[in-house]
């Protein structure tokens, strides 16, 4: 039997961080996206212990500030694309500038320098990932998906989907539907 689940990665990470930091007896505050403020400065051994405990969950400590900011940009974009209702009111540049308290020009240049791709391209890739998940897990029309992901039209979503995946969304839907039918027939 297959059970489909949906993850709120932000809530999941917060819970894991709280559990691990509490278990280590650390006084902390979770700040914004991807930041932990420790109330006392840990020594090297404690920092190593924190890193080891968190690495078991795929969470790593980033020591380079530029890489940390790029990760915060990625996390903010993920929140934006995954349906942060408040974020949907803004365009990407305004949202990132306000969320991260840096100019968009700086964020964009840094992101491109570190990742070798643009913020705009990363947003498109995230949106297409969400569109695929919605096609797979929900019974939404392409119009509903386009609206949910802030596309101006189904044609715009379809063009980006095809450019990114090589398939149109409707072809992708048909493939997924056939897979589901095959799985049901095997049970």
Domain co-membership, 127 together with 175: yes
Domain limits for position 46:
8-61
Q: Is residue 25 part of a domain?
A: yes
What's the total number of domains in the chain?
A: 3
Domain co-membership, 129 together with 181: yes
Place of tokens 């790593």: 60
Q: Is residue 31 part of a domain?
A: yes
Query: What is the distance in angstroms between the CA of the first residue and the CA of the last residue of the chain?
Result: 8
The rounded distance, in Å, linking the Cα atoms of 161 and 131 is 8
Q: Is residue 2 part of a domain?
A: no
Q: What is the pTM of this model?
A: 0.71
Final residue of a structural domain among 95, 116, 137: 116
> How many CA atoms are closer than 13 Å to the CA of 10, on its beta-carbon side?
18
Domain co-membership, 81 together with 54: no
- The DSSP-derived string for 113-156 is HHHSS-HHHHHHHHHHHHHHHHHHH----HHHHHHHTT-S-HHH
Domain co-membership, 42 together with 68: no
CA 86 to chain centre: 16
Q: What is the pLDDT of residues 27-62, one digit of tens each?
A: 888 876 677 888 888 888 888 888 888 888 888 887
Q: What is the pLDDT of residues 87-124, one digit of tens each?
A: 666 789 999 999 899 999 999 999 999 999 999 999 99
Q: What is the pLDDT of residues 128-174, one digit of tens each?
A: 999 999 988 877 889 999 888 888 899 999 999 999 999 999 899 88
């Amino acid at each position: 039997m297959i059970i489909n689940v949906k993850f709120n990665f932000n809530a999941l990470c917060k819970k894991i961080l709280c559990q691990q930091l509490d278990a280590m007896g650390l006084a902390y505050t979770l700040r914004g996206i991807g930041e932990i403020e420790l109330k006392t400065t840990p020594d090297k051994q404690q920092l190593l212990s924190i890193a080891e405990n968190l690495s078991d969950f795929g969470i790593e400590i980033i020591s380079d500030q530029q890489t940390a900011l790029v990760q915060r940009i990625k996390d903010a974009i993920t929140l934006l694309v995954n349906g942060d209702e408040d974020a949907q009111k803004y365009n990407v540049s305004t949202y990132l500038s306000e969320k991260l308290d840096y100019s968009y020009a700086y964020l964009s240049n840094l992101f491109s320098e570190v990742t070798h791709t643009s913020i705009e391209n990363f947003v498109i890739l995230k949106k297409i990932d969400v569109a695929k998940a919605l096609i797979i897990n929900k019974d939404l029309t392409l119009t509903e998906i386009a609206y949910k992901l802030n596309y101006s039209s189904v044609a715009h979503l379809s063009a980006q989907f095809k450019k990114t995946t090589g398939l149109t969304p409707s072809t992708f839907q048909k493939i997924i539907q056939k897979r589901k039918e095959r799985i049901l027939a095997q049970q």
